[in-house]
A = this chain, B = another copy of it.
Amino acid sequence: MTNDSLVIGGRTFTSRLLVGTGKFSSNKAMIEAMEGSGCEIVTVALRRVDIENPEDSMLSHIDRDRYLLLPNTSGARDAEEAMRLARLARAAGCEPWVKLEVTPDPYYLLPDPIETLKAARILVKEGFTVLPYINADPVLAKHLQEAGTATVMPLGAPIGTNRGLRTRDQIRIIIEQAIVPVVVDAGLGAPSHAAEAMEMGADAVLVNTALAVSPNPGAMGAAFKKGVQAGREAFLAGLGEQSQKAQASSPLTGFLHD
Binding site for B on A (CB under 8 A): 1, 20-23, 45, 47-48, 72, 74-77, 81, 85, 104-114, 117, 135, 137-140, 142-143, 157-163, 166-170, 172-173, 177, 189-193, 195-196, 199, 208-210, 212-216, 219-220, 222-227, 229-234, 236-257
Contact = CB atoms under 8 A, between A and B. Distances in A.
Number of copies of this chain in the oligomer? 4
A210 B233 contact: no
Given A162-B240, A227-B227, A246-B161, A75 B252 contact: yes
Listed residue (A167, A195, A244) with the most chain B CB atoms within 10 angstroms of its CB: A195
Contacts of A196: 190, 192
Contacts of A108: 138, 173, 245-246
A163 B247 CA distance: 12
Contacts of A255: 47
A254 B74 CA distance: 11
B191 A250 contact: no
Contacts of A208: 249
A90 B114 CA distance: 28
Given A75-B252, A226-B227, A256-B47, A161 B244 contact: yes
B81 A256 contact: yes
B138 A110 contact: yes
Given A47-B255, A169-B157, A229-B226, A74 B239 contact: no
Contact of A215 (B114, B162, B238): B238
